[in-house]
């Protein structure tokens, strides 16, 4: 990204801000705000493999999750933001989760997230969001490395988060 090319800055910033709002809506347990970040025909693939289609279903799905569970909060590290077209970006991130009442990451909940964002009417919306467990089968060194990175991010955050 360069100062000479503000278009790159716009798509990069747009995707990062959209993702940050998604994480914030989850952490605040706000199903409505979470769902409104999706395009009307956007889809979500959850940590457990649930597939949810459309903004209304995303909202209903998250309402059920937030009603039934005390959800952990996210700690995320954006790994890449890439433009696929002038109005389409992909963002990849790693996340860890801090369960309610705890002050540390639970490595079992580490994930890889992918978000495809589309620009519609000047606003960025989520076309697809996937949250995949970062199990790294038979590679405990990778689990440990990712968990330590996420813990470093957690320790660097203000205490109020």
Q: How far apart are CA 85 and CA 95, in angstroms?
A: 26
Q: Do 115 and 131 touch, CB atoms closer than 8 A?
A: no
35: closest CA among 15, 16, 14, 56? 56
Q: List the domain boundaries for the chain.
A: 6-156
Q: What does the DSSP assignment read for 54-101?
A: SHHHHHHHHHHHHHH--PPEEEEEEEEEEEEETTEEEEEEEEEEE-TT
> What pTM was estimated for this model as a whole?
0.91
Q: pLDDT at position 24, please?
A: 97
In this predicted structure, what is the pLDDT of residue 6?
Answer: 56
The pLDDT assigned to 160 comes to 54
Q: How far apart are the first and last CA of the chain?
A: 29
2-29: string of b/e by CB count within 10 Å (b at 16+)? eeeeeeeeebbebbbebbebbbebbbeb
Whether the Cβ atoms of residue 54 and residue 42 lie closer than 8 Å to each other: yes
CATH number of 6-156: 3.10.450.50
Task: Give the per-residue pLDDT at 7.
Answer: 53
User: Which parts of the chain sit beneath pLDDT 50?
Assistant: 1-3, 161
Two tokens at 60?
């209903």
pLDDT value at position 10? Answer: 87
């Amino acid at each position: 990204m360069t100062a000479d090319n503000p278009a790159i800055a716009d798509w990069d910033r747009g995707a990062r801000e959209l993702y940050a709002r998604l994480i914030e809506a989850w952490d605040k347990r706000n199903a409505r705000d979470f769902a409104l970040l999706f395009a009307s025909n956007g889809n979500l693939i959850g940590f457990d493999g649930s597939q949810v289609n459309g903004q209304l279903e995303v909202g209903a799905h998250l309402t059920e999750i937030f009603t039934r569970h005390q959800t952990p909060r996210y700690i995320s590290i954006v790994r890449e933001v890439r433009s696929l077209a002038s109005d389409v970006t992909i963002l990849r991130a790693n996340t860890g989760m801090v369960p309610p009442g705890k002050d540390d990451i639970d490595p079992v909940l580490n994930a890889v997230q992918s978000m495809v964002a589309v620009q519609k009417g000047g606003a960025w919306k989520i076309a697809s969001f996937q949250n995949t467990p970062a199990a790294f089968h038979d590679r405990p060194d990778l689990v440990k490395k990712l968990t330590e990175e996420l813990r470093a991010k957690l320790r660097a955050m203000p205490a109020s988060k």
